[in-house]
Amino acid sequence: MERKDDLPPLARRFQESLGELAGPDQAHFLSSLGEAAEFLREARAGEEAVLWEDRPRERPFRAPLGVCRAWKAAAATGSILLLPPSREASWASLLADRVVALASLEDLVADLDELFTTLGPPSPAALVVTGSSRTADIEKQLVIPAHGPSRLDVLFLPERPDLARLREMVRS
Amino acid sequence: MKDEGTLQAFEAAASDPSLGEKVRRAVERSVAKMSAHLPLGPERDALRDKARAVRMEALEELPELLERFTANIEAAGGRVHRARNSREARETILRILREEGARIVVKSKSMTTEEIGLNPFLEEAGLEVIETDLGELIVQLRGERPSHITAPALHLSVEDIARTFRDELGIPPPEGLVLEGPPSPEEVRMRAARELSLAARRHLAEKFLQGDAAVTGANFLLADCGAVVIVENENNARLCTSLPRRQIVLAGVEKLLPSRAALGTLLPLLTVTATGQPAAGVVNLLTPRYTPMDVVLLDNGRLALREDPLFREVLACIRCGGCMNICPVYRHAGGHPYGGAYAGPIGALLRPLLEGLDRAGELPFASSLCGACSEICPVRIPLDRLLLELRARARHGLLEKAAFRAWAFAAERPALFRLAAAVWRKFPFLAALTPPGRAWKKGRELPRPPRESFEAWWEKRKDREDPRKERDRGTEG
């Protein structure tokens, strides 16, 4: 189901950059929201345990899976831009062990410089995330996870994804 | 000079070879990774020039940027406090925490809180303070200062940390790791590093939820959108700013940048110089619309330093720690002998400039002036030249002055110079009796005098044919 051979250069670069982090993080290039729903159905542990960024919970909750929107992606470093509107919304990409971020190929830019110079109006929070949480504080030994997610999957779609529609498709 | 403690601290650190070993291994890894991604050379220099221009312009416009930042934070419902010195900053933070009714404070890495001595102050006031960055947690448990700006525990081995976790947290040491005696095989040690890191994750997981308030630092402050920038890898800063009720940000006033566009230039250089990463795990841009926020802006000598035309550029520093990674003195001594929050060449400048030469006047001398720091600095601060300038400002002892006068007097009088040199050749042990000779001998052998003077040597061979001339003739013919 994943496109591999006909990837545009920036997409290929993004995939390589994420791979260079030497962690479990991956980029996937899908052709429809339906494929994203399928990916989530395969990944998730049980419906109630999923944190959705657009459906924040009132109390902190550690979940096996979180789903959020990535508003931009920088190919040179494999970074994504998250714009959680509130702290509760940010838990989907923070308190989940595995995070799936949905991006659009339209929002893929070359590098961090381009990402920062093309940001929209200031939002409550803007997070530029590169891979899963990590530490190398003990003898410079890379350890994943640190305090946040242990795995990040970035799903690229041709069009801008709609989380509410995706949720319905996952359920049906 | 009054600053006797500094010298002793460096001597003590240098006399422990295992310390230098640990520090060197850690920083060499960072430098190697940096070189792989962005080697020294013209391309890197062009980026450094750009980064330097961004920082120097921001320092030029600092008063306007401060005003705009404050207005934007307040418009979004946050508060900005100005602290002239460490005491004011500590008291402001405690007042906010009391207002909030906070009992447990979670912290993400901040060297500025180290600069003002925040943790002991809050603990004395009855608060529980928990460092959440792994390296910071380790040094906090050991009652030490961070040894490096970006890698606080790089002076410790896996075994050191296993002992600390066992003694302070009751976490059993990883299986198979030898704590006393010859070290375990490398693969066992590295598996242990992983286990200890994960044990810290489990230990802190609940603490993030228990924290009533968070204290964080800031890598930059953005004037145009009233945002605080925090760069991290572990996601502990994200947890600190996304779970407790209130966030208190402590930042030096010099951290202001005009806009988000400046980050594209500065962030890649910051992370690649610090740890060799092209990008950090998370760059947080946070406003008071995201989390209830108090920003405490610390002066502590910075605004006065901004008025100093010679040393203003020290404030351009983006705290990457690159100058520590590359410094031969730091590689032997680690960060502790510098005696403050900031170590290495930048610390040897910042401490005397912010605290005064009477308190840290010996630090500019803790450098070989090799200039490696200036080569690596992402904002091109000429650290070695400024260290030399600062030495000139440091007060010199009367004895040192007298010694250099005596040298000058003899050097200008050939007969006297020849006599003194002859005495030294005859009785070399005399040199060890002078104060500089004694100080030199503490860690090194005194050089042995040559058998004959240069003059005598020259006298013997000046009539001989110059071998170079012969060679030149050979190639011509």
Q: Where does B233-304 show beta strands of DSSP type E?
A: 246-252, 256-257, 282-286, 293-298
Instruction: Answer positive or negative: Cα dihedral of B176, B180, B186, B189.
Output: positive
Is the model's pLDDT at B208 over the cut of 50? yes
Residues of A in contact with B280 (CB under 8 A): 130
Residues of B in contact with A112 (CB under 8 A): 263-264, 267-268, 279
Phi–psi pair at A23, nearest 5 degrees: -120, -165
B264·A114 Cβ contact <8 A: yes
- The tokens describing B136, both together, are 């910071």
The domains found in chain B, sorted by start residue, are 63-303 (3.40.50.10420), 399-473 (no CATH)
Q: Supply the pLDDT for residue B476.
A: 46
d(C-alpha A168, C-alpha B436), whole Å: 81
Is the model's pLDDT at B19 over the cut of 80? yes
Q: How far is A91 from chain B, CA to nearest CA, in Å?
A: 8
Is the model's pLDDT at B399 over the cut of 80? no
A window 24-63, beta carbon within 8 A of B = 60, 62
Q: Supply the pLDDT for residue A50.
A: 92
Q: Where does B239-356 show beta strands of DSSP type E?
A: 246-252, 256-257, 282-286, 293-298
B279·A147 Cβ contact <8 A: no
Q: What digits encode the pLDDT tens for the residues B103-124?
A: 999 999 999 999 999 999 999 9
CA dihedral B68, B71, B77, B79 (to 10 degrees): 90
A138·B193 Cβ contact <8 A: yes
- Per the CB < 8 A criterion, the answer to whether A61 and A95 are in contact is yes
Neighbours of A18 (CB within 10 A): 23
Mean pLDDT for the stretch of residues B49-65: 98
Query: Quick check: A147 contacting B, CB < 8 Å?
Result: yes
B281·A76 Cβ contact <8 A: no
d(C-alpha B412, C-alpha B209), whole Å: 73
Query: Quick check: A66 contacting B, CB < 8 Å?
Result: no
- Out of A79, A84, A143, the one facing B279 most closely (by C-beta) is A79
Residues of A in contact with B151 (CB under 8 A): 136-137, 140
Q: Where does A6-158 show beta strands of DSSP type E?
A: 26-29, 50-52, 63-69, 72-74, 79-82, 96-104, 108-109, 125-129, 151-157
Q: Which residue of A68, A135, A142 is the best one to mutate when testing the B interface, meaning the one whose CB has the most B CBs within 10 A?
A: A135
Q: Supply the pLDDT for residue A9.
A: 95
Contacts of residue B186, defined as CB under 8 A and 6 or more positions apart, other chains included, come to none
Q: How far is B449 from chain A, CA to nearest CA, in Å?
A: 44
- Per the CB < 8 A criterion, the answer to whether A65 and A44 are in contact is yes
CA atoms within 13 A on the CB side of A126: 23
The CA angle B399-B401-B402, to the nearest 5 degrees, is 65
- The tokens describing B135, both together, are 């390296």
Burial B321-331 (b: 16+ CB within 10 A, else e): bbbbbbbebbb
Q: Is B61 exposed, middle or buried (0-12, 13-18, 19+ CB in 10 A)?
A: middle
A148·B285 Cβ contact <8 A: no
Is the model's pLDDT at A60 over the cut of 70? yes
For the ranges A43-57, A86-100, A106-120, B49-63, the lowest mean pLDDT is seen at: A43-57
Smallest Cα–Cα separation from B59: which of B225, B226, B257?
B257
- Per the CB < 8 A criterion, the answer to whether A155 and A80 are in contact is no
Q: Supply the pLDDT for residue B438.
A: 83
d(C-alpha A135, C-alpha B84), whole Å: 35
Q: What digits encode the pLDDT tens for the residues A134-144?
A: 999 999 999 99
| Averaged pLDDT score across all residues of chain B | 93
- The tokens describing B475, both together, are 């190639």
Phi–psi pair at B222, nearest 5 degrees: -105, 120
d(C-alpha B85, C-alpha B298), whole Å: 7
A60·B275 Cβ contact <8 A: no
d(C-alpha B152, C-alpha B382), whole Å: 25
CA distances for B466 relative to B457, B459, B461, B471, angstroms: 15, 14, 9, 9
Q: How far is A140 from chain B, CA to nearest CA, in Å?
A: 6
Q: Supply the pLDDT for residue B398.
A: 76
Is the model's pLDDT at B470 over the cut of 70? no
Query: Quick check: A134 contacting B, CB < 8 Å?
Result: yes
- Per the CB < 8 A criterion, the answer to whether A146 and B235 are in contact is yes
Is the model's pLDDT at B64 over the cut of 70? yes
For the ranges A26-30, A84-88, B310-314, B434-438, the lowest mean pLDDT is seen at: B434-438
- Per the CB < 8 A criterion, the answer to whether B297 and B83 are in contact is yes
Mean pLDDT for the stretch of residues B166-180: 95
pLDDT above 70: percentage of residues in chain B: 96
Q: Supply the pLDDT for residue B477.
A: 39
Instruction: Answer positive or negative: Cα dihedral of B107, B109, B112, B116.
Output: positive
Q: Supply the pLDDT for residue A46.
A: 61
For the ranges A95-99, A113-117, B80-84, B446-450, the lowest mean pLDDT is seen at: B446-450
Is the model's pLDDT at A69 over the cut of 70? yes
In this prediction, residue B232 has a pLDDT band, given cuts at 50, 70 and 90, of very high
d(C-alpha B203, C-alpha B150), whole Å: 22
Q: Letter for the amino acid at B444?
A: R
Report field, pTM of the whole predicted structure over 0.80:
yes
B26·A139 Cβ contact <8 A: yes
Mean pLDDT for the stretch of residues B89-95: 98
Mean pLDDT for the stretch of residues A138-167: 96
A148·B235 Cβ contact <8 A: yes
Is the model's pLDDT at B306 over the cut of 70? yes
Q: State the alpha helices, DSSP H only, in B371-466.
A: 372-376, 383-393, 398-411, 414-426, 435-443, 454-461
A113·B284 Cβ contact <8 A: no
Query: Quick check: A16 contacting B, CB < 8 Å?
Result: no
- Per the CB < 8 A criterion, the answer to whether B184 and B192 are in contact is yes
Mean pLDDT for the stretch of residues B367-393: 96
Burial B81-111 (b: 16+ CB within 10 A, else e): bebeebebbbebbbebbeebebeebbbbbbb
Q: Supply the pLDDT for residue A106.
A: 96
Measured in whole angstroms, the distance separating CA B210 from the mean position of its chain's CA atoms is 32
| Residue pairs spanning A and B at CB distance below 8 A | 162
CA distances for B184 relative to A9, A135, B281, angstroms: 46, 22, 31
Measured in whole angstroms, the distance separating CA B64 from the mean position of its chain's CA atoms is 29
Q: Supply the pLDDT for residue A45.
A: 58
Residue in this structure with the two tokens 């460490």, named with its chain if needed? B86
Q: Supply the pLDDT for residue B467.
A: 65
- Out of A117, A119, A147, the one facing B234 most closely (by C-beta) is A147
pLDDT above 90: percentage of residues in chain B: 78
Q: What digits encode the pLDDT tens for the residues B409-467?
A: 999 999 999 998 899 898 888 888 887 788 788 778 888 888 888 888 888 888 777 66
Q: Which residue of B50, B147, B154, B239 is the best one to mutate when testing the A interface, meaning the one whose CB has the most A CBs within 10 A?
A: B239
Q: What digits encode the pLDDT tens for the residues B129-172?
A: 999 999 999 999 999 999 999 999 999 999 999 999 999 999 99
Q: Supply the pLDDT for residue B14.
A: 84
B290·A122 Cβ contact <8 A: no
- Out of A94, A112, A136, the one facing B239 most closely (by C-beta) is A94
d(C-alpha B115, C-alpha B107), whole Å: 15
pLDDT above 70: percentage of residues in chain A: 95
A112·B267 Cβ contact <8 A: yes
- Give the single-character DSSP code of B383: H
Q: Is the preceding omega at residue B120 within 30 degrees of 0, hence cis?
A: no
Q: What digits encode the pLDDT tens for the residues B218-227?
A: 999 999 999 9
SS3 A137: coil
Residues of B in contact with A134 (CB under 8 A): 233-234, 281
